Amino acid sequence: MDIDSFWKLIEECRRQAQGPDERLAWLRGALARRSLAEVVQFQVRLDEVTHEAFTWDLWAAADRIFGGWCSDDGFCYFGLWMVGLGRDAFSRALADPDSLADVPEVQRMVGRPREMWNNDWPEWESLDYVAMEAYGSLTGVDDDCSEAFYEDVEAEQGDGESSSGPLGQRWDVRREDEAARKLPRLSVMFPL
Q: Give me the domain span that covers residue 180.
A: 3-189
Cα→Cα distances 174→30, 109, 167, 182, Å: 42, 19, 19, 12
Measured in whole angstroms, how far is the alpha carbon of residue 59 from the centre of its chain?
A: 12
Percentage of the chain lying above the pLDDT 90 cut: 84
Alpha helix positions (H), the chain: 3-16, 20-32, 36-52, 56-65, 72-84, 87-95, 104-107, 130-139, 146-157, 176-182, 184-189
Q: Answer yes or no: is pLDDT of 160 > 80.
A: no
Binning pLDDT at 50, 70 and 90, where does residue 142 land? Answer: low
Long-range residue pairs from 163-172, CB within 8 A, at least 24 positions apart, any chain: 163/51, 163/54, 166/54, 166/55, 166/56, 166/59, 167/54, 167/55, 167/56, 168/55, 168/56, 168/57, 169/56, 170/56, 171/56, 171/60
Binning pLDDT at 50, 70 and 90, where does residue 4 land? Answer: very high
Q: What is the pLDDT of residue 141?
A: 79
Tell me 112's DSSP state. S
pLDDT single digits (tens) 39-94: 999 999 999 999 999 999 999 999 999 998 899 999 999 999 999 999 999 999 99
Give the chain's length: 192
Q: Of the ranges 4-13, 85-94, 105-114, 159-168, which one carries the lowest mean pLDDT score? A: 159-168
Q: What is the pLDDT of residue 180?
A: 95
Number of domains in the chain: 1
Select the more confidently predicted residue: 159 or 73. Answer: 73
Q: What is the pLDDT of residue 135?
A: 94
> Cα-flanking dihedrals φ and ψ of residue 155, to 5°?
-65, -40
CB within 8 Å of 176: residues ≥ 6 apart: 187, 192
Q: Inter-axis angle of helices 3-16 and 20-32, to 10 degrees?
A: 130
Q: What is the pLDDT of residue 128?
A: 97
